[in-house]
Structure 1
């Protein structure tokens, strides 16, 4: 799974659960709605064939003076498990915090992946053709 696939899944989830509220990347200027942005992405090798992918996202409500009372619970419910191209991914950590008097939600997704070793080439079918045997006498 790529970081772009995960980011797209978060955008799709926000659209599905908050269809009346605009959502967009934090890099897009706006005054209303919900923004999301990737804070960090990390790939760490545990063993030669095992890796850990960690992603941290920030979700913000753009009007801090008009936050719906149910928004925190609805965001937790929507982002706890997201669908990334047919595979469900569950957040490993979700929390609200305040930065410069503006609330934000931090969501962390951690996945373990295993590098699949290439399988040996399978036997191929041999084709056998009868050949004429030429016999010579001396």
Structure 2
């Protein structure tokens, strides 16, 4: 699973759970436009760590923001938790390892962490095979 696939799955999940709310990727600005409405999402970090020669840990942290800081629905934290706790990435469910609702500069945000363990699968190579050829000589019986 790639970071782009996970990000797309988060956007799709948010759009499915909040069909009447605009969902868009966050811009570079930390403080959103005061006229903006809806939910933004952005990747905060992505990390791939090797545990062993054939095993890796992928860690992704996302920030989800409700853009109307003065008009937060009371059920929003619970709805976001429910929507993002388990997401489907190309048919495979992934569960968040941590969901944390916090306030930064009076702007509420949800931090979502996904951690996956992956194993490098070695390709099964075909072993060398010995090909044996035999030549048979045919003699003419007309001697």
Flag whether TM exceeds 0.5 (same fold).
yes
Q: Following TM superposition, by how much is the alpha carbon of 1:3 offset from its aligned partner in structure 2, in angstroms?
A: 0.3
Q: Following TM superposition, by how much is the alpha carbon of 1:65 offset from its aligned partner in structure 2, in angstroms?
A: 0.3
Partner of 1:114: 119
Distance 1:120 1:25 in 2: 43
- Alignment partner of 2:90 out of 85, 96, 99: 85
Structure 2 portions without partners, runs of 5+: none
Mapping 1:96-115, distance limit 5 Å:
96-115=101-120
Moved over 4 A (4+): none
Structure 1 portions without partners, runs of 5+: none
Partner of 1:23: 23
Distance 2:56 2:118 in 1: 5
Matched, 1:133 2:137: yes
- Alignment partner of 2:43 out of 38, 62, 69: 38
TM-score (norm 2): 0.86
TM-score (norm 1): 0.89
CA RMSD of aligned residues (A): 2.5
- In the comparison of the two structures, how many residue pairs are matched? 134
